[in-house]
Structure 1
Amino acid sequence: MPLLEVVQTRHLSASIRLTDTTATQVDQYAAFIHASADEVVEQALAYVFSKDRDFQEFLKSPNAQRITPTLRVRRAATNDAAEPPAKKPAIGVQSSVQTPAVVAGSKA
């Protein structure tokens, strides 16, 4: 029996829009905990979702399965090639209109 269990997850690339203040704080929090901005967003959302009791009840309802997706997910290449690492901005926050983030999904 192996001593370690490695859980493989599939990551999706998606674009989200953040205010300048929020984007700066994501970068600052990432520096504070020595993590990437993607990990901060992923863990913050997972934390909120797990703590929101009303949301947990909503997930049990049929309405949760009938949502209209609004997250702009970038589709991967059809050959399932690994995604190249994202380029990091030289200093601070990216000045583009959209700030990229990664949202993890379960492996199908």
Structure 2
Amino acid sequence: MPLLEVIQTRHLSASIRLTDTTAAQVDQYAAFIHACADDVVEQALAYVFSKDRDFQEFLKTTQAAHVTPTLRVRRAAAPDAVEQAPKKPVAGMESSESLRVQKA
């Protein structure tokens, strides 16, 4: 029997909008628990979904199977595709990546 159990999960990228306050708190919580922002959002949603009894009941209905998707999911590139360069920031705005490079 193996000592480790590796569970492979399929991740996808999606685009969501957050208020500036919520986005800042996601980053702050991620720093607080030494995790990345993606993990904070993933675990927070999983927690809410599991604790909401009305939602759990809704999932058992046929209506739940016929929900129209509204989340903007980014389609994954082909496995052998070369990663594209990041988009240029909007005029007057800098990405957090470019800010990190300048600080170093």
TM-score normalised per structure 1: 0.74
1:73 counterpart SS class:
strand
Partner of 2:26: 26
| Match in the other structure for 2:6 | 6
Q: Which residue of 1 aligns with 2:79?
A: 80
For residues 29-48 of structure 1, what are the structure 2 equivalents within 5 Å?
Answer: 29-48=29-48
Find out whether 1:89 has 2:96 as its counterpart: yes
Amino acid at match of 2:79: D
- 1:62 equivalent in structure 2: 62
Larger RCO (CA within 8 A; separation ≥ 6) = 1
Q: Which structure: greater helix fraction? A: 2
Distance in 1 (CA, whole Å) between partners of 2:6 and 2:22 is 32
Structure 2 letter corresponding to 1:22: T
Over aligned residues, Cα RMSD in angstroms?
A: 2.1
- Tell me the distance in 2 between the aligned counterparts of 1:83 and 1:58: 41
CA deviation map 1:11-53 (0-9, x unaligned): 0000000000000000000000000000000000000000000
| Runs of 4+ residues deviating >4 angstroms | 81-84
CA distance in 2, matches of 1:81, 1:13: 18
Q: Matches of 1:35 and 1:82 in 2, distance apart?
A: 28
Identity of aligned residues (%): 77
- Equivalent residue pairs, number: 88
Q: TM-score, normalised by structure 2?
A: 0.77
Which residue in the other structure is 1:53 paired with? 53
Higher Cα radius of gyration: 2
Higher strand share: 1
Provide the C-alpha distance between the structure 1 equivalents of 2:58 and 2:5, rounded to a whole number of angstroms.
Answer: 31
Residue 71 in structure 1 maps to residue 78 in structure 2? no
Read off the aligned partner of 1:63 and give its amino acid letter: Q
Unmatched tracts of structure 1, length 5 or more: 92-108
